[in-house]
C-alpha cells in the first residue's frame, strides 16, 4: 500500500514568513519542502508606472509570472516519490508560494492550507530591509497585487473556514510554528521540540525560548478565538491600500492560473525590475 502523503500549503504576502514556517515544519515533522521561488517564467508581464509616466516594471506579483507547469510537475513528482517511502505510513510535503492558492491544483491537493496575513507597514519594512525594491514598485505593483490576491484567498477561507488556518505574520515565530504544527498534526508541540530548532532556520532577529509559554499569541487558549482575532486583523490589513493610485485591473473569474502572451520586455534601462 502506498505511503499516505499529507500536503501542507502555505500562502501569504512577500516577507510574511512563509519560507521560515515551511522550513520549521520541514524540520519538526519532518517534511519535504517545495518553494515557489524556484518557478518563474523568463519574462514577467510589464506594468507601466502610474506615478512616473515613461517608467515601467516587470511584475513578479501576478500568476502570469509563475511557471505553473514546472511547479505542478515538480509537486506531482514529489508526491509520487514520497508515496514509495519505505518504513512509514505517513509522510509530509510542504509547498509554499506567495500565490499558491491561485492554483486549483494546489487548492485541491493541499489537505492543510495555511495563510499568513501581514499588514502593509510590516511587509514594507521587512521587504525594504532584505531584498529591496523601489518605493514606486512597492506602492504601485507589489502591495496592490497582493491585495487582489488576498481578496480571492479570503473568499476561499470564508467559504471553507475549517480547511484553512490563518496566522498573523507579526506574531512571534515560536507561536506561529506551534500553531502550524499543532493544527497540522493534531499533536501539541513540546518545549523539547521547540528547543531543538537550529538557529540557522530562524530569521536573524528571532529567538526561540525553550521555556516560552506555548499558547496562541494574544492570550487565547482556544484556536477558534485566535482565528477570529486574526481574521478580523486580516480584514483591517486589507483596508490599507497605501498611497492613492488608480486601481489595478480585477483578476478574471475562476482559476487565477492563466496562460497569456507577454509583451517583450523593454531594455534594462527602461524599467526598474521588482526583484523578489
Cα–Cα distance list, 144 to 8, 62, 141 (Å) = 26, 11, 6
The pLDDT of residue 220: 52
Domain of residue 153: give its range.
Answer: 4-249
Cα angle vertex 244, ends 241, 245, to 5°? 95
The pLDDT of residue 100: 97
Tell me: the pLDDT tens digits for 146-172?
A: 999 999 999 999 999 999 999 999 998
- CATH classification at residue 236: 3.40.50.300
Output the average pLDDT for the chain: 83
Q: Please state, in angstroms and rounded to a whole number, the distance separating the CA atoms of residues 98 and 41.
A: 15
Please give the average per-residue pLDDT across 86-96, as a whole number.
93
Write the DSSP symbol of residue 101.
G
pLDDT at 17 > cutoff 50: yes
- Does the residue 92 lie in any domain? yes
Q: By percentage, how much of the chain surpasses pLDDT 90? A: 58
262 vs 28: which has the higher pLDDT: 28
Cell of 27: 524540520
**Beta strands at 90-96 and 56-58: parallel, antiparallel or unpaired:** unpaired
Residue 214, SS3 per DSSP: coil
Tell me: the pLDDT tens digits for 175-234?
A: 899 899 999 998 888 888 888 888 888 876 555 554 455 555 555 557 888 888 999 999
- Does the residue 126 lie in any domain? yes
- Does the residue 173 lie in any domain? yes
Residue 235 CA to chain centroid, in angstroms? 17
The pLDDT of residue 38: 93
- Does the residue 265 lie in any domain? no
Please give the average per-residue pLDDT across 102-122, as a whole number.
96
- Does the residue 259 lie in any domain? no
- Does the residue 65 lie in any domain? yes
> 135-149, 192-206, 249-263: which has the minimum mean pLDDT?
249-263
pTM of the predicted model as reported, rounded to 2 decimal places: 0.84
- Does the residue 255 lie in any domain? no
The pLDDT of residue 258: 37
- Compute the radius of gyration of the chain from its Cα atoms: 19
Residue 135, SS3 per DSSP: helix
Write the DSSP symbol of residue 55.
-
How many domains, in total, are found in the chain? 1
Cα angle vertex 186, ends 181, 190, to 5°? 55
Cell of 148: 487582489
Write the DSSP symbol of residue 37.
G
Cα–Cα distance list, 142 to 5, 120, 125, 235 (Å) = 34, 10, 13, 18
112 vs 195: which has the higher pLDDT: 112
- Does the residue 261 lie in any domain? no
* Helices 143-159, 223-239: inter-axial angle, 10-degree rounding: 140
Residue 145 contacts residue 242 (beta carbons within 8 Å): no
Amino acid at each position: 500500500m502506498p505511503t499516505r502523503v499529507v500536503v501542507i500549503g502555505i500562502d501569504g504576502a512577500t516577507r510574511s514568513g512563509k519560507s521560515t514556517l515551511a522550513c520549521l515544519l520541514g524540520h519538526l515533522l519532518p517534511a519535504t519542502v517545495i518553494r515557489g521561488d524556484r518557478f518563474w517564467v523568463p519574462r514577467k508581464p510589464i506594468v507601466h508606472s502610474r506615478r512616473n509616466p515613461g517608467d515601467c516594471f516587470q511584475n513578479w506579483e501576478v500568476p502570469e509570472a509563475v511557471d505553473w507547469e514546472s511547479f505542478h510537475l515538480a509537486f506531482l513528482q514529489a508526491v509520487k516519490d514520497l508515496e514509495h517511502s519505505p518504513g512509514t505510513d505517513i509522510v509530509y510535503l510542504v509547498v509554499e508560494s506567495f500565490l499558491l492558492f491561485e492554483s486549483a491544483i494546489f487548492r485541491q491537493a493541499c489537505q492543510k492550507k495555511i495563510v499568513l496575513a501581514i499588514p502593509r507597514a510590516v511587509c514594507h519594512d521587512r521587504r525594504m530591509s532584505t531584498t529591496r525594491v523601489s518605493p514606486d514598485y512597492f506602492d504601485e505593483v507589489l502591495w496592490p497585487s497582493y491585495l487582489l490576491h488576498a481578496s480571492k484567498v479570503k473568499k476561499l477561507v470564508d467559504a471553507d473556514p475549517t480547511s484553512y488556518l490563518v496566522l498573523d505574520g507579526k506574531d512571534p515565530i515560536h507561536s506561529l510554528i506551534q500553531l502550524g504544527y499543532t493544527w497540522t498534526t493534531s499533536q501539541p508541540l513540546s518545549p523539547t521540540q521547540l528547543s531543538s530548532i537550529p538557529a540557522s532556520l530562524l530569521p536573524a532577529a528571532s529567538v526561540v525560548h525553550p521555556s516560552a509559554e506555548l499558547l496562541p499569541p494574544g492570550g487565547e487558549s482556544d484556536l477558534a478565538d485566535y482565528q477570529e482575532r486574526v481574521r478580523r486583523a486580516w480584514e483591517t490589513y486589507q483596508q490599507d491600500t497605501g498611497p492613492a493610485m488608480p486601481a489595478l485591473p480585477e483578476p478574471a473569474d475562476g482559476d487565477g492560473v492563466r496562460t497569456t502572451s507577454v509583451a517583450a520586455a523593454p531594455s534594462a534601462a527602461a524599467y526598474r525590475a521588482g526583484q523578489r
